[in-house]
Structure 1
Amino acid sequence: MNQSNPIKRLKPTATFYSITLLIILWQGLAMLVNYPDLFPSVTDLLATLAEMLGTKAFYIALCNTLYRGLIGFILAFVLAISLSAIALNSQFIKVFIHPWIVIMRSIPVISIVLIALLWLSPPGLPIFISFFTMFPILYQNFLSGLEQTDRKLVEMAKVIKKNNLQRLLYLYLPSAHAYAFSGMATAMGFGWRSVIIGEVLSGPVHGIGTGMKKAQAFIDMKELLAWTVIAVLISFIFDYVLKLIAAKPVKFKLSEVSQSKKTNTISADIKELTLISLNKKFNSKQVIQNLSMQLSNQTVNLIQTASGSGKTSLMNLIAGILKADSGQMIFNPEQPVISFSYQDIRLVPWFTMEQNIAFSLPSFPNITQDDLQKINTLIHQMELDEHKGKLPDELSGGEQQRVNLARALMLPCHILLLDEPLNGIEDSLKKRLIKFIEDWTSSYKPLILWATHLEVEAYLKGDVSEVRVSR
């Protein structure tokens, strides 16, 4: 049962009662003061609003204010998302920008306005003020959101050669979704107020702030309050729209394309990996010590050892996730395509099962008819047909593990790393999947390094080599 539904049903009612109470209090105070020119009643205020809405000047002023606010927001948005993406990958840039952000957030808006009055023309000043106010808020929220991205998902994407733009589009931005919209809502709230303050003080020909200033000059409280209500409504509408957009889940779609004439195929040629005096230490703990061996695709290379023996660290070194303290790895071919079935799964939370499997393809989100057929075959072999279209959090641990394995098998590769790929899967299915992995990879014969506690060699048709990870 969704416990948030009662709250959602209650919110409109509570909002209605709150606004109704505000109107009643306003009307009561107006009657108590009994001075319409100083404190107009609700009916007088509504009449003034209706009169303003019937004039061309009102819409010209409204459009000019909206234009200035949106231009300032767009400039701040583009610069904030660009710099936050750069700062994410450069600690120097992040530290370099930080004092600027602190200064921009600390300077009072009125100080910015008074200084800018000496530099800018009346129409340009509100744009500058809105930009100056919104940029630091957007930058900090964007950067915080990007930094919340799961590091293990980024590692997974790097292993399958996703470039910076792909990682930004499919991992960082969806992860920063909540932070980004929260920042935009906050920035918009401050931004509209700043635009109107700038208009009041700089006095452009048209604008809500200009209308407020004229009403104040003529001591027209009704019109001044009417403009204030319009300003509040603008802020409310933009906040409401942003919340509606933010509430929508992040969704991606696979696009089916025609078969490419050039296909990246992996031949069944010899594939080798030579390790020479490899060492890896975490703090004072030596995980891999002076490891030398030669692996090839002529056999399935099995690591059957206890947890904590360094098998996952070895796979992470081969995949490029970790760097060795010393030693050498020689690949044949020199730049191999590597696919990895992770012990900790690493599925993308906002991708469906099919999208997670297809993510290993270089062409993602574009897939061919052959790709789609392979995806469906993998889903069927993993006994996941009834779960098509589901997100990872709608699957059990064992089902997620099978999707993780299917993603690794989807990418034809030179080196296939399998780190406990059958954890959480029932025994009868485990035995069948062991045979399926061997059959599926037979066409391109990758170098398979398989870490497992199972006696998988009993179910494999080909030769098996035992790999020892010594310390």
Structure 2
Amino acid sequence: MTKKICLSLLSVLVLCALWQTVSTCINAPLLAPGLTDIARALVDLCSTKDFFASLGATFLRCIVAFVIAALVGFLLGTAGGLSKSLAQFIAIPLWCIKATPVVALILLALFWLNSNNIPIFVACIIALPVITESVKAGICAVDKKLLETSHIYKLSSWQEVCIVRFPALLPFARQGLSTAYGLVWKAVAAGEVLSLPQNGMGTVLSLQQVHLQTAHVIAATIILVASGYVSQLLFTLLFTNIKIHSVHVPQRKTFETNNASSKDIRTNLQRDGFSYTFTKESVTAIIAPSGAGKTTLLNALAQDQTNSNELVSFVFQEPRLFPTLTIEQNIFIAASAVLPQEKAYERTQHILDASGLRSVSNRLPEHVSGGERQRTSLARAFAYPAPLLLLDEAFQSQDIAHECMLLQELQTLLSEQKRTVILVTHDAREACVIADKVLVMQGFPLRTVQELQLLPKKKSAAKLYVSPDETIITAEETIHTLLLNSMNGHDLTKSKSS
């Protein structure tokens, strides 16, 4: 920081030295007054009774223009971000505004408005496209996967705005508003120079130029530049201090759950001709070649459950944690969407202890390891009291140690809370050590090749994964054989055995 300040001061000193050298060589105060003349002009301007009124009027016009442009820009940007048709509709007017010279806008405004309002009008027009496009970009930049997660866990609309949409918008809004404010300051000054309102720094500039007071023109320009820099710096600091994770997360009231745990979960995808009944409170693993439609099946299941107002937990291939919430808050926000706040808190604390995440509970997702993020995703799914749990290759990209840890955690949590679990994986051993049955499937369209019933496990999932018993090895070999034949193009459903 000190180095930056020193370099900035050195730059100013070099510029002053160059200016003084040019002024001395030319020896023409009307063209290039010396630093002494400029300093006297600064003192002279600051000592006049109308100076601070002019500076205040310019600053007030900037604030008014900026607020109006921000409000209209946020409205248009939000509309354009949410609707492609509206975005196309406003694209041409915004392009015309950006292509129109500032002087042309000022001259046109002279026909329509009085001199006090012309700078405000021009500044609004100049800043509007910048703010609109920044907001639109922020709206479009929202993570669609996080939106899907918020819908799965039934976050309210306000929670979705606070946790998903606002964090995506804020960086774009910061940049756009900061740029727009700089343009507003320049546009107001230019508008004042040509419209000559009663008070304004642009009026001061124009009058001093008429009287051929070059030193005073430069002094007024220095004041404008310094005032604009300081105000923009304060504005930037204000927006920088807005911490997204400090946004209050409102809690929802109790959500009445349907009695989904009392019946089998059934999916019937008519478009693929696939139908299967998953047994209640059992773990079913699905294994199929890549591209067969396993993830599509889980997404369809989740969508059907959500559309019918049933509860469903989903552990995706990637953690999909809300980046502005801590590990504890990510778990709590899911539980509190259904449970009363006190019960949600108790459930969160229990899950944190059971999953071994207590030591990192107050950290943001970016400050924990990949394995801890995936464990948080699993913990969040268990904190959410849904009878159906979907896992889409939830343990991929994990080393053996972390995969064993996650499998053991899943087994432990399932022993405490019975769920109907559907697990999609490419790892045959992973499926065999955790599942009650394995569906080996083939795509185009998706259909079951063979259903393997597995015996109850006598060892922990972690131990079985590292040292599988004979039953696990046999099932694993069967799965590999079926998958290999499927990849060779054989239609295994014709020789299906159970």
Aligned-pair RMSD on alpha carbons?
3.1
Equivalent of 1:437 in 397, 413, 426: 413
How big is each residue's C-alpha offset from its partner over 1:254-290, in whole Å with a ceiling of 9 and x where there is no partner?
8699996x564565742444333433xxxxxxxxx32
Work out whether residues 266 and 412 of structure 1, in 8 Å CA contact, stay in contact via their aligned partners in 2.
Answer: no
- Is 2:220 the counterpart of 1:227? yes
Question: Partner residue of 2:172?
Answer: 179
Deviates more, 1:225-234 or 1:249-258: 249-258
Alpha-carbon distance in structure 1 between the residues aligned to 2:333 and 2:39: 56
Instruction: Select the residue among 335, 338, 363 that pairs with 2:312.
Output: 338
| Aligned residue in 1 for 2:424 | 451
Q: Given residue 313 of structure 2, which amino acid in structure 1 is its aligned partner?
A: S
SS in 2 for 1:449: strand
Paired residue type of 1:202: S
Tell me how far 1:339 sits from its aligned partner: 2.3
User: 2:243, 2:306 → 1: CA distance?
Assistant: 40
Aligned partner of 1:357 in structure 2 is: 331
Counterpart of 1:270 in structure 2 is 262
Partner of 1:32: 25
How far apart, CA to CA, are the structure 1 residues paired with 2:357 and 2:393?
19
Q: How does 1:311-322 map to 2 (within 5 A)?
A: 311-320=294-303
Letter in 2 for 1:233: A
Q: Distance in 1 between matches of 2:104 and 2:357?
A: 62
Q: Which residue of 2 aligns with 1:198?
A: 191
Compute the TM-score of the two structures, normalised by the length of structure 1.
0.83
Q: After superposition, give the CA deviation of every residue in 1:338-391 in whole Å (9 maximum; x if it has no partner).
A: 321111221233332223223435659x99344333323222222222223222
Aligned to 1:392: 365
TM-score (norm 2): 0.79
Question: Using the alignment, how far apart are the partners of 1:185 and 1:169 within structure 2?
Answer: 22
CA drift of 1:27 comes to 2.0
* Residues in 2 aligned to 1:191 and 1:149: alpha-carbon distance in whole angstroms: 28
Q: Would the aligned equivalents of 1:374 and 1:410 in 2 still touch at CA under 8 Å?
A: yes
- 2:122–2:191 contact (8 Å) kept in structure 1: yes
Q: Please tell me whether residue 409 in structure 1 is matched to residue 409 in structure 2.
A: no
> Alpha-carbon deviation of 1:183?
1.7
Matched residue, 2:42: 49
Per the alignment, residue 5 of structure 1 pairs with none
Equivalence for 2:138: 145
- Does residue 1:110 correspond to 2:103, yes or no? yes
Correspondence for 2:494: none
Q: Distance in 1 between matches of 2:161 and 2:245?
A: 14
Distance 1:333 1:20 in 2: 68
Say whether residues 1:300 and 2:283 are aligned partners. Answer: yes
Alpha-carbon offset, residue 296 of structure 1: 5.1
1:156 aligns with 2:149: yes
Q: How far 1:30 sits from its partner (Å)?
A: 2.5
Q: 1:469 to 1:22 in 2, by over 3 A?
A: same
Distance in 1 of aligned mates of 2:252 and 2:161: 27
Query: Aligned partners of 1:46 and 1:173: how far apart in 2?
Result: 47
Deviation per CA, 1:130-186, whole angstroms, max 9, x where unpaired? 100000011112222332332222222232234554433322332233322222222
Question: How many pairs align?
Answer: 438
| Alpha-carbon shift at residue 457 of structure 1 (Å) | 6.7
Distance between the aligned counterparts of 2:291 and 2:170, measured in 1? 36
Moved more, 137-146 or 422-431: 422-431
- Give 1:225 shift: 1.6
Which 10-residue stretch deviates more, 53-62 or 129-138?
Answer: 53-62
1:371 is matched with which residue? Answer: 344
Deviation at 1:114, TM superposition (A): 0.6
Residue type of the partner of 1:168?
A: V
Name the structure 2 match of 1:418.
Answer: 391
What's 1:291 paired with?
274
Q: State the distance in 2 between where 1:136 and 1:363 align.
A: 39
**1:350 to 1:367, Cα distance in 2 relative to 1, 3 A:** farther
More helix by share: 2
State whether structure 2 residue 254 is matched by structure 1 residue 309.
no
Call closer, same or farther: CA 1:388–1:205 in 2, change over 3 Å: same
**Which 10-residue stretch deviates more, 86-95 or 49-58?**
49-58
1:347 aligns with 2:340: no
Q: Distance in 1 between matches of 2:331 and 2:224?
A: 49
- Are 1:120 and 2:96 matched, yes or no? no
Contact 1:204–1:210 (CA<8 Å) still a contact in 2? yes
Secondary structure in 1 matching 2:323: coil
Superposed displacement of residue 10, structure 1? 3.8
- Cα distance in 2 for partners of 1:176, 1:169 equals 10
Higher-Rg member (1/2): 2
Q: How does 1:91-110 map to 2 (within 5 A)?
A: 91-110=84-103
The Cα shift of 1:31 comes to: 2.5
Q: 1:206 to 1:363 in 2, by over 3 A?
A: farther
Indicate the residue corresponding to 1:324 in structure 2.
none
Q: Find out whether 1:64 has 2:57 as its counterpart.
A: yes
Counterparts of 1:47 and 1:62, CA distance in 2: 19
